[in-house]
Amino acid sequence: MRKRLKKISVLLLSACLFLPTVGCGGMSSASGSSLNYPDYGYANADSDSWKQIEDLDKTVQVTWYVDSSTLTVSNELIEIVKDKFNIAITPRKPVSDDGSELSSYIINNTLPDIITVSDYTTIVQLGQHEYVYPLQDLAAKYAPSMLERIPQDLVDFWGDANGKIYGWPANFFSNADLASLEKTGSHLMSNYGLVVREDYLEAYLSAYPSAADSAMSPSEFISMCEWVKDTYHLGDNNPTVCLENFTTDSTTEGSRAITALSEFFAVPLEDSEGNLTYRWEQEEMKEVMLFLNELYRKRLVISGNLSATAAQVGSYIQNGLPFAVVGATQNYQSYFRNLYINTLNSKDYEEPVNYVPIVITNAAGDMPVLGNIAGRGNRLTMISGNCERVDRVIKLFDWLVSEEGHRETYFGQEGETYTVEKAVGTTENITVNGESVSYTYPYGQMKWTDSAWNAYQHYNFTKLKIHTYSYLHNPLYAYLTDATGKGYGYITMANYMNYNHKAAYMPLTYNKIPFKFNLDPNHSDYTKMIALQSQLELHWIQYISRIIMAPTATEASSLYDKALQDAQKQGSESLRAFQNASFLALKSKMGLTNAWPPNVGEIPTTMPLRGDRSYELEVPANVNYESYNGGNKVYTVD
């Protein structure tokens, strides 16, 4: 749900209401208040638009602004674009994330040529008030080949009431791509997980072998953590249970770890009649918070973890300090990999330290309900009304979203870094779960050359201009072009670790797209509800640490009850009802009556502690950096 209100939204509204030089009907320009469409650079639908550039010898200068202090356009992409399109990109990003720089651009009518923005309210306003171009209108004139590349589900999710999209979302993939992936027998991973140190777990299971037979209740998990802490002499200042870093990210109300536990504890997102719930009103959500309070009171979760940065949490992991790690574990895959490599080469460890997933439940024993990573993208990249060469830029967009654009940015140059094993559209029979299935490769099938593979393994791939990310990137492309035929798209040790951290959860994982809806920006209460959403998110963020660090369970429970009562007084039911309208509309469009798996019987009722391990992958020899020489481990990176 992209409904977060940032300071920029208020400033943008102010700009529209009070600045006479920037009319809300469009950007001021020499041609008037409407967007300018230059009378040159046209293309037809007979071939790809980028093959119809007539003045390629003329360099086009553009500034590409990414509204994030930590993200920017990569140097590799800048070089690729310059070589292919003769577009010279100057990357720009703000000093801070308070929204002031983007607001200044809007107020002063100085938006850069290309802007990448994540805030949904701002995106809506920029499009509705013609600060940015509708992509279909640009494509119709200058890049007709792009029109057929715009999936309807992208328009359904990101389009305005007029059916126009004003930017392309990063990490968007279509329903068709997801169906292609699933036809190979592959599935998207859960977004969240709970992983534990395998050596500590095996020691515990040696002492209590029956614990491996079933998922753990909260009290059983706490008992296991206490046993590990005592057995391995982990101090009170050790993050025995490590939570992903707390943030002010409104989409998780302060903590992905809490969101992860809400899924493990099966907090219902939809009631039996198919309506959206308010998760803080659910008994299972209160159980999550009291569980965290007990972990804190038993010094399994430390106070330092509640204020730790992402880098500090990564340091905990890289040093092998936690027994358990809770959250979106993919955010720390490089730290898990570094720990494995460091302990692989250490005489202090018989085996490298690895983390593995386990299954915990709520007190009632309900199986976890884990949402997968499916979404509808984020961070729209838009072309502003100040861009003079929209004809060249929309052709660049057309190429970036095309198969050719994905292939050349991800795989590099044919013959040098990859070979084509199967052409686009090749149909053949493949084996899926022991059965022969007819399958058509939507993007063909590629294979890395040995030199590119080795560079990838050792993270020296940027100089080859491979695995180059753009903000118009389809994350399923790598999976659907994997030459192994498995569709996993995994290459490095960290990739396989990340996969195996989630694979055993596959039967517990469901498609969460119905819960990732946008609110109706055209509704008269939209601005009011966005403000209320922000207010309630901040409200819970302020209470979370107080509840977790309460000195007794009784006090933690009382604090939770007070926080919920205050949220209800502030209007949580009004917000839920407003959100529910969008939720029901999206489900109707998808042909669904219910979306939460327990309502449609899609979640198993039992599961071993380690989940369903049949989904796990063995790390191939040319990926695993481990080799043996006379029984001694040797780290074989060139």
Distance of CA 524 to the CA centre of its chain: 30
Q: What's the confidence (pLDDT) of residue 230?
A: 98
Structure token digits, residue 75: 């140097």
In a domain, 339, yes or no: yes
Question: In terms of domains, do 159 and 197 share one?
Answer: no
> What's the rounded Cα separation, in Å, for the pair 72 and 304?
31
493 in Cβ contact with 625 (< 8 Å): yes
Number of neighbouring beta carbons within 10 Å of residue 503: 23
Same domain, 122 and 245: no
Nearest to 141 by CA among 52, 62, 30: 52
The answer to the question of residue 461 being in a domain is no
Considering the entire predicted model, what is its pTM?
0.84
The CA–CA distances, whole Å, from 40 to 30, 54, 59, 195, 393 equal 17, 10, 16, 57, 13
For residues 145 and 208, membership in a common domain is answered with: no
H-helix or E-strand containing 305? Answer: helix 303-307
The answer as to whether 422 is a domain residue is no
For position 128, what pLDDT does the model report?
Answer: 85
Dump the DSSP string for 405-447: HHHHHHT-SBTTTEEEEE-TT-EEEEEETTEEEEEE-TT-EEE
Contact 384, 113 (CB under 8 A): yes
Are residue 256 and residue 339 in the same domain, yes or no?
yes
Q: Are 19 and 107 in contact (CB under 8 A)?
A: yes
298 alpha carbon, distance to own chain's centre: 33
513 DSSP 8-state letter: G
Length of the chain: 638
Dmax of the chain from CA atoms? 79
The 10 Å Cβ neighbour count of residue 598 is 17
Name the burial class of residue 322, with classes exposed (0-12), middle (13-18) and buried (19+) by CB atoms within 10 angstroms of its CB.
Answer: buried
Q: CA angle, corner 443, sides to 500 and 438, nearest 5? A: 80
What's the confidence (pLDDT) of residue 484?
66
Domain identity same for 155 and 239 = no
User: In 3-state terms, what secondary structure has residue 593?
Assistant: coil
Same-domain pairing of 198 and 151: no
- Partners of 447 in beta bridges: 419
The domain tally of the chain equals: 2
Quick one: 557 exposed, middle or buried, by C-beta within 10 A (0-12, 13-18, 19+)?
A: middle
Phi, psi dihedral angles at 608 (to 5 degrees):
-60, 165
Amino acid identity of residue 214, one-letter, is S
Would 361 be classed as within a structural domain? Answer: yes
Same domain, residue pair 82 and 230: no
Residue 388 lies in a domain: no
C-alpha distances in Å from residue 23, one per residue of 12, 109, 133: 12, 10, 15
User: Mind listing the pLDDT tens digit for each residue in 567-623?
Assistant: 999 999 999 999 999 999 989 988 999 999 999 887 899 999 999 999 998 887 777
Q: Does residue 153 sit in the same domain as residue 210?
A: no
Q: By three-state DSSP, how is residue 382 classified?
A: strand
78 and 129 in one domain?
A: yes
Let me know the angle formed at the C-alpha of 136 by 134 and 137, rounded to the nearest 5 degrees: 70
Burial environment of residue 83 by CB neighbours within 10 A (0 to 12, 13 to 18, 19 or more): exposed
β-pairing, 60-66 with 114-117? parallel
Residues 148 and 231 in one domain: no
Note whether residue 233 is domain-resident: yes
Query: Which two structure tokens, joined as six digits, stand for 273?
Result: 């009649």
How far separated are the first and last CA of the chain, in Å rounded? Answer: 45
E runs forming strands in 71-190: 87-92, 114-117, 168-170
DSSP string covering 326-339, please? EE-GGGGHHHHHHH
Residue 37 amino acid letter:
Y
Alpha-carbon separation of residue 8 from 126, 159, 204, 533 (angstroms): 11, 21, 51, 16
Listed as ranges, residues in the chain with pLDDT below 70 are: 1-33, 248-254, 483-489, 624-638
Pair 154, 209 in one domain: no
Q: Nearest CA to 337 among 353, 358, 356, 313?
A: 353
Question: Is residue 219 classed exposed, middle or buried when 0-12, 13-18 and 19+ CB atoms within 10 A define those classes?
Answer: exposed
Are 387 and 113 spatial neighbours (Cβ–Cβ below 8 Å)? yes
Residue 559 has a CB neighbour count (10 Å cut-off) of 19
Question: Which residue range forms the structural domain that includes residue 232?
Answer: 193-371+511-613
Query: Which of 330, 303, 298, 325 minimizes the C-alpha distance to 313?
Result: 325
Residues 54 and 124 in one domain: yes
Q: How far apart are CA 354 and CA 2, in angstroms?
A: 35
Establish if 281 belongs to a structural domain: yes
Tokens of residue 187, six digits: 């599935």
- Whether 13 maps to a domain, the answer reads yes
Angle at the Cα of 33 (from 28 to 36), degrees rounded to 5? 90
Three-class HEC string of 524-539: CCHHHHHHHHHHHHHH
